[in-house]
Homo-oligomer: A and B are copies of this chain.
Amino acid sequence: MRIALDAMGGDHAPGPIVAGAVEAVRDQSDLTVVLVGDRERIEAELRKARNPAHDRLPIQYASQVVGMDEKPVEALRKKRDNSISKCWGLMASGDVKAVVSAGNTGAMVASALFNAKMFLPGIRRPGIAAIFPSHQGPIVIIDVGANMNAKAEDLYQYGVMGSIYAETILGVTEPRIGLLNVGTEEEKGTDLTKATRALYQQSPLAHRFVGNVEGRDIYEGHARVVVCEGFVGNVLLKAGEGAVEFLFATLKQELARLLPGLPADAGQSLVGGLSGLKTRYEYHEFGGGPLLGIRGACIICHGASDARAIKNALRVAGTLAEDRLNQQIVEQLAAAPNEVVADASGS
């Protein structure tokens, strides 16, 4: 498995990014990670590592970086030699089977969209999937930010792709699919949700479509795949992170207030246990969200990714690239209602 990693993308790049690659190739003897970016800075990071497997950590030079806050399309146009475009170039040429970046999400998506040949046959618009926790175990929410102008047909395709992703990564067979909405009743929502509902009900996925899912119900896990437009999904994902951070910060204060009454070791074990709990709801485990609907595999990581998150992202990217996932997506889209599938031009 050969994966291109945007060594320059991320809030603290290239340090933790390169460190994650070093760990990943140490764990997986068949993995090669092409480190894309500033050669000198990457080499400096490699020198800090303990016995890195240099032969499986080649460097691909890119002189420019798209900043985390830069306007994606403009930056990609101005900075032709940026590390993100170079990663996609390696994928387009067949040199690597997957790309991973913790850099500018918009630039990662835009770079993929620039080249409709990167789309799987029949795909209208790729979507980003994210993993949420629920009482039934992890669930998939798609799209969390790739597509700001989704149509019902896109939300149908996200159901197909999200299901196959849930099967591959979470091991959930035939997952139930829900449509994020403002109420459970059929007529609720916007024109988009109504059209999406109608599309699912007439489709081969009808038996797995459980209808509307409210914000509150997400965590019940009755639907293991929840589809929504990218704007809502992105707000939901980030607000969930914000809520968890906020609650744990408040809990910490509250515990500090309560702990003086507890024996020191009990307090320690409690704080330790809660930290473990927090970790369960963080993005590290799955390393980031895949951009589904493209040839090969692509994982978009959180900007704050540490080495562990990058290592896991590389593992998941490898799994997705090796799996029949893309083949299944193409097959299942071929069985979908005609209007759902994009024509050969990918438009």
Residues of chain A having any CB pair with chain B under 8 Å: 69-71, 106, 133-135, 145, 148-149, 180, 182-185, 187-190, 214-220, 228, 230-232, 234-247, 249-251, 254-255, 257-258, 261-263, 265-266, 269-270, 273-274, 277, 281
Q: What are 10 residue pairs bridging A and B, where the CB atoms are less than 8 Å apart in the complex?
A: A145-B182, A215-B236, A215-B238, A216-B242, A218-B239, A219-B242, A228-B235, A232-B235, A240-B243, A247-B281
A13 to chain B, nearest CB (A): 18
* A188, B133: Cα distance in complex, Å: 27
Q: Cβ of A185 and Cβ of B219 under 8 Å apart?
A: no
Q: Is the CB of B71 within 8 A of A235?
A: no
Instruction: Verify A219–B231 contact, CB threshold 8 A.
Output: no
Give CA–CA (A277, B274) in the complex, Å: 15
Query: Quick check: B231 and A250 within 8 Å, CB to CB?
Result: no
CA A232 – CA B238 in complex, angstroms? 13
CB distance from A7 to the nearest CB of B (A): 23
Enumerate chain B residues within 8 angstroms of A247, measured Cβ to Cβ: 244, 247, 281
> Are A241 and B216 in contact, CB atoms less than 8 angstroms apart?
yes
Bound together, the chains give a CA A106 to CA B249 distance in angstroms of: 35
Q: Which residues of B contact A133 (CB under 8 A)?
A: 246
Please give the distance in Å from A29's CB to the nearest CB on chain B: 37
Specify which chain B residues have a CB less than 8 angstroms from the CB of A232 in the assembled complex.
231-232, 235
Cα distance A294–B179 when bound, in Å?
A: 32
Q: Can you list the 9 inter-chain pairs with the closest CB atoms, starting with the nearest? A: A215-B238, A215-B239, A219-B246, A216-B242, A216-B238, A182-B234, A219-B242, A215-B235, A262-B266
Complex interface: chain B residues within 8 A of A184 (CB): 69
CB < 8 Å: which of B145, B266, B277 contacts A251? B277
A293 to chain B, nearest CB (A): 19
Instruction: Give the distance to chain B from A152, nearest Cβ to Cβ, in Å.
Output: 15
A180–B239 CA distance with the chains assembled, in angstroms: 10
Known: A182-B145, A232-B232. A246 touches B69 (CB 8 A): no
